[in-house]
Amino acid sequence: MSKPITVIEPVPANGAARTAAPETCGEPILVVQEVYKKGREAFFNAALPGPVLPVPSGEADLARCVRKSGARAVILGIQRYEGALYESFKEGGLLARFGVGVDGLDLARARDRGIVVTNTPGVLENSVAELVLWLMGCLARRIPQHQESWRRGCPSTPESGVELHGKRLGLIGFGRIARRVARAASLGLGMSVNAFGRHSLEELSAASAMDPQSWLEAQHIASYTQDIRELLPRCDFISCHLPLDSATAGFCDRQFFDHCKPGAYFINTSRAELVNEDDLLAALAAERLRAAALDVSSAEHGPGLKSPLRDDARILHTPHIGSNTAEANRRMAERALHNVRCFLAGRLDDLDCVRVSAASGAPLHRHEELVAAVPRSWPTL
């Protein structure tokens, strides 16, 4: 029979948690409810000095839970936290992200309050890369349109799809996820994969002790460039894999889409803020893009939010499910718990710490995830 757990605040009726007295008197570890549900087995069976407790994710409620419990470690999801949470810790603490992106956290404020921020790198790449492939396939074969026609009683639509084999795929950013996509698309689908990133081909190949051609072959890509304007006009499919920071916000804007090959397909599974959505809609309306698939968008932030993205039939939406698989959730939970254990044991060198720029307070991305900023003044091709 499974052991009971303690909940500091009531959970919704449809929540998975049950309320009972704690079996241990050690200091609690707080996990926001949405994250707890995803990694329930790992959290429920975690071997930690104190209980692992699901709590509300809203900032005011979460801050109250931290103050009430005296917890020093909190495991968070993708929600944005701007003030009260950081002030709720008495003397430093740990904010452990269940996932990779930390754009919802005020890293400078955390640093100033002595709060360590960690994430879970290296555990969700497979899940996100697979979603990119499925989205490409859905766009290529017009699955949403066929499904809608079938529901209306029409067995087929007049417009044919296209094969992925032999098409050119452009990867914007070439970090871990993009490299998984490159391997699968090249070896599995016969696509010609081309990548854009910040560092030169010579730097990347030298860092791997390879000559440039051998490095390209090892990454399963046909070409690599630091010039986004060179890449876009050649690609049939474009997949965005940039981290979000001050240099990449709005990266995919009017100039970006104007440089795309007419009729290209656009996929974004990274961060909504990378894309100027008005410019994306304009590119679709002008048939510069044929269709788009978005796992992240402004429309995901609440079911009642009005967004023109929702009404455009050329856009395939998924509700931020890139890493939401049973396997990735288990790995993220285990890695977040690893960070909690190391923090409570004082083994700070073993943490997956998010490094913060002393000047800007922005995260410092790992070498392979760094990307070039789009020039603000685009020359005409």
Kindly list the catalytic residues: 271, 300, 320
Provide the b/e sequence for 202-213 (b: ≥16 CB within 10 Å): eebbeeeeeeee
Give CA 68 to chain center in angstroms. Answer: 32
Q: Within a 10 A sphere around the Cβ of 76, how many other Cβ atoms? A: 25
Q: Which residues, including other chains, have CB under 8 Å from residue 218's CB and lie 6 or more apart? A: 208, 210
Three-class secondary structure assignment of the chain: CCCCECCCCCCCCCCCCCECCCCCCCCCEEEEHHHHHHCHHHHHCCCCCCCEEEECCCHHHHHHHHHHHCCCEEEECCCCECCHHHHHCCCCEEEEECCCCCCCECHHHHHHCCEEEECCCCCCHHHHHHHHHHHHHHHHCCHHHHHHHHHCCCCCCCCCCCCCCCCEEEEECCCHHHHHHHHHHHHHHCCEEEEECCCCHHHHHHHCCCCHHHHHHHHCCCEEECCHHHHHHHCCEEEECCCCCCCCCCCECHHHHHCCCCCEEEEECCCHHHECHHHHHHHHHCCCEEEEEECCCHHHCCCCCCCHHHHCCCEEECCCCCCCCHHHHHHHHHHHHHHHHHHHCCCHHHCCECCECCCCCCECCCHHHCCCCCCCCCCCC
Q: Tokens representing 135? A: 């989205």
Please say whether the beta carbons of 190 and 166 come within 8 A: yes
Burial of 110 (0-12, 13-18, 19+ CB in 10 A): buried
